[in-house]
Amino acid sequence: MADQTHAPVAARDPKKTYGLADLVRGGAPGTARPPEETMFTWPHLVYVEFLAMLASTVVLIVLSLLSGAPLEEAASADTTPNPMKAPWYFLGLQELLVFFDPWLAGVVLPGLIIVGLMVIPYIDINPKGIGQYNYTDRKFAVLTFCYGLALWYIFIVVGVYLRGLDWGWYWPWDNWKLHKEAAAVSLIDLEIIMMQGLGIAQSTANLLTYLITGAFYAIGFTIPFLFFRKFYDALGFVRYNLMMFFFMTMMLVPLKVMIRLMFNIKYLLITPWFKI
């Protein structure tokens, strides 16, 4: 890749009104290539995108002709299906409802995903790889994004293929018509475990769970700051903290899910306002 230099793309004329892009410290976003090595978005890129859109439409039409999507019988309050499953693309969110309060799983977490994606252009000031598919120079960014996307799909896979009666976990070789015993899995809160294990009062144990959750974020925020200082210096205080908040929350969701599914711990942290 060509050397990225931060040459100003326009003369800094005090009489001229600049867009937001010019207010960002550290040079204007753009490519280091001279004009003769670049081409216009329209028509070169948009033309290809239009063709791709037409091709996708044809593929979708053919698929919808070949694959039936029959409606089930009319809904009846007497016979609610068990399990009640959302359309496949929402099953990841429905799966999250098992692990979090409804307003967290249904509102806050999807909201954080959308806001997190929206702030990427403001947080990501790395000029490498602009305008091209680039993995080599953007390993952390690409890997983080792919991880987040994989999380989205693994929950869908679980919801579609592994959730049966009463939203229990059914392997493909299990008998899907047999109700699993309700008492087969007894879930217990982390603070109860600590209360019994350490012989402390529940209020103390509750306080400890706050500390553990706080420590999770604190360690996550501190490690890159200590060991990848260049990363922090490049982003600056506000961008770094924003990015780490979204990153650590993204890591917390599967961690909580794993702790529940593997260790039968219901909630890590119980506050008067929410439980995680």
Residue ranges binding other proteins (CB under 8 A): 132-136, 142-143, 145-147, 149-151, 153-154, 157-158, 162, 169, 171, 254, 257-258, 261-264
CA distance to 28, 118, 143, 220, per residue, from 140 (Å)? 22, 18, 5, 15
State the minimum distance, in angstroms, from the CB of residue 13 to other proteins. Answer: 35
Comparing CB distances to other proteins, the nearer of 163 and 267 is 163
Nearer to other proteins, 151 or 193 (CB): 151
Who contacts 14 (Cβ-Cβ below 8 Å, separation ≥6)? none
Which is nearer to other proteins, 232 or 257 (by Cβ)?
A: 257
Closer CB to other proteins, residue 171 or residue 237? 171
User: Shortest gap between Cβ of 184 and other proteins (angstroms)?
Assistant: 9
CB of 2 or CB of 63, closer to other proteins: 2
**Which of 149, 152, 151 lies closest to 88, judged by CA?**
152
Closest CA relative to residue 169, chosen from 177, 159, 155, 156: 159
Query: What separation in angstroms does the CA of 83 have from each of 37, 71, 143, 169, 172?
Result: 57, 17, 34, 11, 15
What is the rounded distance in angstroms from the CA atom of residue 118 to the CA atom of residue 110?
Answer: 12
Distance in Å, CB of 143 to other proteins, minimum = 7
Task: Compute the least distance from the CB of residue 46 to other proteins, in Å.
Answer: 17
Shortest distance, position 254 Cβ to other proteins, whole Å: 7
